[in-house]
Amino acid sequence: MIKKLKINKPNNSHNFIEEIFEKLSISITKFTGNTSALIIAFSLIIIWSVSGPFFNFSETWQMIINTLTTIITFLMVFLIQRTQNKDSLAIQLKLNEIIAAIPGASNRLVDAEDVSERELKTLKSQYKKLSILIEKDTDLRKSHSIDEA
């Protein structure tokens, strides 16, 4: 059985507001990533299109859809970025846990997401050299380390 990680958090009013936004953003993310949200959005566009003749295709009629889509897009950009940041951090933490748990794994890669792009390119070239060493080796059971590269 999988146990969920519990983290003790300090209790104050700032965290209360943050927690409300956290729950709200999770709910919105789950809803907007759902087929129902796509159906609702598509339906609203159809309703707006069909209502055009009733409003004589006026500027106000056009401004309604322009304003709504601009507001929704603006908010969704931040929601998507927030969700990506959270997911990326969770993945990095999980990978760090795996690296820490595997005997012989290079701990230098823990928190690799915090190094510069130049350092990442250097690491990549070292792993490329390591892959060349592995290809040359005929013993499939032999292990190589990044230090050899």
Query: Which tens digits make up the pLDDT trace of 100-124?
Result: 888 877 777 788 888 899 988 988 8
**Is the pLDDT at 1 greater than 60, yes or no?**
no
**Is the pLDDT at 7 greater than 70, yes or no?**
no
**Is the pLDDT at 30 greater than 60, yes or no?**
yes
Q: What is the pLDDT of residues 37-59, one digit of tens each?
A: 999 999 999 999 999 999 999 99
Residue 48 CB contacts under 8 Å (≥ 6 apart), including other chains:
61, 64, 65
Question: HSE of 32 in the Cβ direction (CA atoms, 13 Å)?
Answer: 14
pLDDT of the residue at 87: 93
pTM score, whole prediction: 0.68
pLDDT of the residue at 70: 97
pLDDT of the residue at 112: 82
Q: Is the separation of the CB atoms in 123 and 133 below 8 Å?
A: no
Q: How far, in Å, CA of 55 to CA of 61, rounded?
A: 6
